[in-house]
Amino acid sequence: MLRIVEARNRRAVLALLTPVHTRDTATERRVATIVAAIRADGDRALLRYARRFDPLDGPIEVTQAEMHDAAARVPRAVRAAIRAAARNIRLVARRQVPRGWRMRVAAGVTVEQRIVPLDRVGCYVPGGRHPLPSSLLMTTIPAVAAGVREVIVACPRPGPVVMAAAIEAGVTRMFRVGGAHAVAALAYGTRTIPRVDKIVGPGNRYVSAAKALVASDCGIDFYAGPTEIVIVSARGPADWIAADLIAQAEHDPDARAVLITPSRALAARVARDVEAQLPGDGPAREALRAHGGIIVTSSAAEAMALANAAAPEHLVVDDDRLAAMVRCAGSVFVGPWSAQVAGDYAIGSNHVLPTAGAARARGGLSAADFVRQVTVQRVTRAGLRRIGGTVTTLATAEGLHAHAASIAVRVK
C-alpha cells in the first residue's frame, strides 16, 4: 500500500511532500456567485442557499434554550470529555494572549502597544458526516479567552454534542448555515447574521474558496487545504506509526501521510503494519494510496531537512534532539507517547493549523489571532526637537517635502 522511495529520488520525494496547488476555477465561480448574491440580497439569498445546500428545515438561529436542552441529552461521559478538553484548551489560550507594553524610546518620546480584543468573530464548524465538537472548542475558546465580546458560530447541522460544546465554550449565538453562503453572511452581514471582524475555522473547498474571496473585506485565519502529517522516526514503534498515518488519512481522501526515516528496516515494518491495520475501504485507504508513502534517507539530519522543506501541518519526531531541528511546522509532537490525535482533542494546543506549506510563514490558530495590536505614540516638545532632524532629513531624502514641513512648522 505505502510506497517506499529513496531520498535521492528527488522526483518521488517531491511528489510525496509537495502539495499540488491547482485552482478549482469552477468552484471559485460558483462561490463568487453565492457571495455576490448574499451581499446583494442578504437574508433572502441566505435562506435560499441554506434550504438548498444545508438543508435548512427550521429556524436559522439556534437559541440558547435550544442549546441547553440539546446539551442535556448528551451522554454524561461525553459532556465530561468536552469539559476536560475545554479546560486544557482554555489554559493554553489564556497563556497565548499578547500583553501590552509601554517604553521610553528617548527623552520625550514614548511608544505604547495596547492589546484590544476584536469585537465580534465568526467561527465556522463543519457539519459533514460526523459532528465536530472539537472544532467548535478549538475556534471559540481562544476567542473568548482573548476577550472577544461576541462569538458567532455557523454550523449547517449542529447536533446535540456540538451544542454542548457551544455551551461549555461560551458561544454567544449559533446559526444553522454552512458553506460559502455562511462565510459571506459572516463577512458582510445580513439582517439575521451580524457582520464579524474575522472568520476562523476549517471547511470544505467551498468554505475555503469563500474565505479567500472575502479576505479583502474581512479578516480570516488562513486558507486551509487537505490535512497532512509527516513523521520523522528511526525507532518506531512501527505499529504506532502505522496507526498515526491511518488516523490522519481517514479525514479526507486528499489527506497526505508520510514517514521519513533513515531506517530501511523500520520503513518495511511500517509498510506491513499499515496494510495489516488499514480498513477494507474508505477515505484512509484512498488517501494513502494517492498521497501516502515512506522516504528512506541517509541520516536523521537529512530526514529533518526534508521535513522542514515540506513545512507540514503536523510533524511527529522521535525526541527533543530532532524537535530542536524543527523550523517549519504547524504543530510538533515529540516522542511516541505524544500522539498527534491527542492534539486534535485534549492536549490544549490548537488543531486549526496551516496546511500546504503555509507553516513556512505562520503557526496554528491561537488567542493572539483574536486581538488588535494598537500602537500609541506620545512625543513632547523636547522630544520632537530631539528626533525632528532625523524625520526632516529622511522625508527630504524621499522627496516628501510636505512631510518635512509638518515637523518644521512645529520646531521653528
Which of the residues are catalytic? 313-314
Q: What is the rounded distance in angstroms from the CA atom of residue 116 to the CA atom of residue 368?
A: 10
CB contact set of 255 (below 8 Å; sequence gap of 6+): 226, 227, 228, 229, 248, 249, 283, 287, 291
Task: Report residue 407 as a C-alpha cell.
Answer: 515637523
- Rounded CA-CA distance 18/101 in Å is 41
Burial class (CB in 10 A: 0-12, 13-18, 19+), 238: buried
Q: At 331, which amino acid appears?
A: S
Nearest to 351 by CA among 362, 337, 365, 335: 365
Distances in Å between the alpha carbon of 101 and those of 84, 96, 116, 369, 375?
33, 15, 12, 18, 10
CA atoms within 13 A on the CB side of 113: 9
The residue type of 307 is: A
Antiparallel, parallel or unpaired: β 292-296 and 314-317: unpaired
Integer Cα distance of 124 and 174 in angstroms:
10
Q: In angstroms, rounded to a whole number, what is the distance separating the alpha carbons of residues 258 and 275?
A: 15
Distance of CA 332 to the CA centre of its chain: 14
Strand-by-strand arrangement of the 331-334 sheet: 3-6, 292-296, 256-261, 228-232, 314-317, 331-334
